[in-house]
Structure 1
């Protein structure tokens, strides 16, 4: 899916991502976007004929940003432990400063039974990308003696991903960004022991 957008469509998509992180698919409308972007709903429909088109585009962009981010981590940090810590630190910073405080795919996964299937499919692909990257990092770390995996790298990656995304929810529910950090550090310590 190509996510090359005009400047106005990019602005709409950026505000949509903020709204998705705050309240998910059903937590916003084109009226909400109209207020934020200062254009009419008809203009938003010109760029994105339906809400499903808009959210699908935003999730595809999120996947692209994720892939670029982990590629940068892989290139910058050869050490698997440092890469995993870099991933956790990214979300820790986002949660602390609210930019965004929640992965949009986490929000959308919670709504999977009631959102359009094409969005659910794209969210699933995001999580497959994430789990694949985590499994590779964990496998490299295990080979280097940094991680002691109790299960396969794939199973450990799924568990770690679940802990990170669950920690986002916990931090939000508790109104405590430090909860995220402490939960993730405990998960990291478990992998290292």
Structure 2
């Protein structure tokens, strides 16, 4: 389900994405976007009738972007260990340079009880997409002897995902991007050794 956006709507979505990554769903309003994008609140409502609609569309696009990125990486990097390293390397770089210091869906997952249902559905969808991808990478890697899994690929995928998101949170809490790698690297080592 691809969403076509006008240039101004795309600018609004980009602004909202930044605001979400920094503070979550309840940390911003249309007034914040208005000031940043230099557009009236009424004009934002023209593009997105509600904040829930804006964030839902943002997440639809985020999920499409993530799926496309993982598919492209899979075509460029075929070795499962290298795929997981590329995935964690992407987040390490984003955290280090501040371009995407936190997964938007991980931020919103913490707010699930307090966000609109249509937004929560997209957040859950992202986690399902990501765990399915991780499960497939871990399954292939285990079959090739590249990974030593202590539990099922599905359980290991959930552990991997939780570790990566926890590492993001720790890097943010300590204000130290290098903490991300210090948490993720031991997990990679455990997956690749007996």
Using the size of structure 1 for normalisation, the TM-score is 0.99
Contact 2:25 2:108 in 1 (8 A): yes
Render the CA deviation track for 1:81-112: whole Å, top value 9, x for unaligned.
Answer: 11010000000000001111000001100000
Q: Which runs of 4+ in 1 moved over 3 A?
A: none
Aligned counterparts, 1:47-126, within 5 A = 47-126=47-126
The secondary structure found in structure 2 opposite 1:100 is coil
Report the equivalent of 1:168. Answer: 168
Q: Structure 1: any 5+ residue segments left out of the alignment?
A: none
Render the CA deviation track for 1:121-178: whole Å, top value 9, x for unaligned.
Answer: 1100000000000000001111111100010000000000000001000000000000
Report the equivalent of 1:46. Answer: 46
Establish whether residue 143 from structure 1 lines up as the match of residue 130 from structure 2: no
What is the Cα-based RMSD across aligned positions, in Å? 0.7
Q: Structure 2: any 5+ residue segments left out of the alignment?
A: none
Using the size of structure 2 for normalisation, the TM-score is 0.98
Report the equivalent of 2:178. Answer: 178
- 2: CA distance between counterparts of 1:3 and 1:109? 23
The secondary structure found in structure 2 opposite 1:101 is coil
- 2: CA distance between counterparts of 1:87 and 1:23? 23
The alignment covers a number of residue pairs equal to 193
